[in-house]
Structure 1
């Protein structure tokens, strides 16, 4: 039989050892929500040591943290635990992670502490989100295409009948048939835009920076608000098979949206990098090109972020909701993906295009 002292020592030893060996990140905060302890798993996830974060406010220790400080304050005040399954943390280099965070009130040496258990969920969340958005986007496009064809057929008959009637009327009465024809043409044009681009891309081997520079020059000329443009290119990116016109249209649509919401202090960054180990439409890709369009505008409302690529969905009162839907279609035609991450002060659209596999891979 072990005496109480031996059992206490055994518990203390294993408690200390287990916390340091846990794969789950553990963070301990004091009642002012300042960091008092990180286990090694937490140091690895946050890429910062306890020495650097000790006594710093948790929420303010990162460039952006979606975990609301009010929720943590409520835990201290009421003692009621909570779990947030979608916490986004962004670091100073703009890298970001997704976490599932559970907050619990504990007592250590008679003092109130908040225990945060953080589980990284980036990969699974990304795959699930992309699969869901892909299914919803395809369903929305199929519905729009079906409706568009149903609308377009009677429009053609309506326009033809108005043209025949126009021949039988006098000059004053033709004003009405002209109105019918003009509105039929307007609706036909809208339907054609709803159907989106249906021509396959005309691919050619070229450097993506040629397309980006063309877009940059076009938007610099059409820049009434004098928005600042920053180019941050990776010159080592190899040539890739693209349709320059379609890629240019994609970039113009995205940048055009940004220009409409930015004020005179606005900034748009065009950034290119090599991205590794990406998942594109459910397939793993070792090497890809990442084109980022980043602005410092007000951000996209959270309720719209999962729907912005659907046809007829817009965050602006006068928006058509077609620009991003068309951009999504054009990127899909390149076997790539278009993604968005946004919060107030920063919106980033990312175009991921797979690089061809090398012969020795």
Structure 2
């Protein structure tokens, strides 16, 4: 009989399993009636273990939740928001914003929690998406405007070179032609993501990583170590294999170049790490499953001056860099409805690629 009641309760609240936020439904005495899948993942325990237990035990300060529940039960408020710390099974604390509301008909309470760091990340991600779209349109229009007169400048310099006799003047025309060619190459790279068709097929992310690994080790054969930390259960997905190879290669190549001092010392390391992320939100969409590819290096980290602008075109932390590698990588990943994030401190830089899985 108790099993039948539990099944009916789960059925009543099963729609909460489609939410990325953490949800618990509790009785007025604080006992858990239901916990959604996102809460299970966050706490590292099953809903069967949670159901019937006091939900306050999952918090660093149980008394705060107890007072909030008492206030809702006595109608002191309809909805309450506050910040708290959830306690995971491994005893780690997770900062969350708690929203507590009462179901008038049954007296049950819905407790919704969202990770504060996730909310900050989502806000930052939304800004980056909007800025990336604006930059993409600006760069594409600017590249087209530069391209036409550039051809004229180069052509005029060639004609002038044929007419002049002075060797010094010929050197000047050669400088013009060389610089025009360099700018043409830059413009072509800016326009490349918009020219090449999106070729979709089955993609194995570990084959992508192995291809990138072989290319990088061919360039840095002696002084760079590349670790693999793969989740073999990740399924194939539909995507453009060559674009994903190029996106990953751009990130890894940047990392390898940033590791110059570590390579000289003999302890330079890059790690490929793949995982399946569950119940995640990015690009303003909720996804049940997503591929999570980390490219981690033990270099000096991204300079603070450009941390918020590393995906902008022509922004580079390396002397002589074009500042296009990460811009193109972000563009290619966004064409797969994904996103690239960066978390960097001295000694550890982690670029994380997220792409929806079927």
Same fold (TM over 0.5): yes
1:197 alignment partner, SS class? helix
Aligned partner of 1:187 among 154, 172, 183? 183
Aligned to 2:66: 21
Q: Which residue of 2 aligns with 1:73?
A: none
Aligned position for 2:142: 147
Which residue of the partner structure matches residue 161 of structure 1? 156
**Are residues 1:232 and 2:232 paired?**
no
What is the distance in 1 between the residues matched to 2:256 and 2:188?
A: 25
- Once residues 146 and 206 of structure 2 are traced to their aligned partners in structure 1, the CA distance between those partners, rounded to angstroms, is 40
Cα drift, residue 142 of structure 1: 2.5
In structure 1, the residue matched to 2:273 is: 271
Aligned to 1:349: 351
Give 1:121's match in structure 2, choosing from 116, 120, 124: 116
C-alpha deviation, 1:225, in angstroms: 5.5
Determine if contact 1:340/1:347 at 8 Å carries over to the other structure.
Answer: yes
Q: Larger % of helix: which?
A: 2
Aligned length: 262
1:268-307 counterparts in 2 under 5 A? 268-307=270-309
Question: Is 1:322 aligned to residue 292 of structure 2?
Answer: no
Cα distance in 1 for partners of 2:338, 2:307 equals 19
- CA separation of 1:236 and 1:291: change in aligned 2, threshold 3 A: same
8 Å Cα contact 2:204-2:237 kept in structure 1: yes
Shift of 1:196: 4.2
2:264 aligned with 1:219, yes or no?
A: no
Which segments of 5 or more consecutive residues in structure 1 lack a partner in the other structure?
1-15, 24-40, 50-61, 63-88, 90-96, 101-118, 357-361
Match of 1:137 in 2: 132
Q: How far 1:305 sits from its partner (Å)?
A: 2.1
Who is 1:10 aligned against? none
Distance apart, 1:21 and its partner CA: 3.1
- TM-score w.r.t. length of structure 2: 0.66
Instruction: Determine the structure 1 residue equivalent to 2:25.
Output: none
| TM-score, with length taken from structure 1 | 0.65
In 2, Cα distance between equivalents of 1:323 and 1:293:
15
Alignment partner of 2:309: what SS?
Answer: coil
Q: Is the CA contact 2:203–2:240 (under 8 Å) kept in the aligned structure 1?
A: no
Higher mean C-alpha deviation, range 313-322 or range 255-264: 313-322
2:333 is aligned with 1:331: yes
CA positional deviation for 1:252: 1.1
- C-alpha distance in 1, partners of 2:238/2:219? 29
Change (3 A) 1:20 1:131: closer
What CA distance in whole angstroms lies between the structure 2 residues aligned with 1:301 and 1:47?
A: 36
Residue of 246, 249, 254 corresponding to 2:251: 254
* 8 Å Cα contact 2:344/2:350 also seen in 1: yes
- Aligned-partner Cα distance in 2 for 1:179–1:126: 46
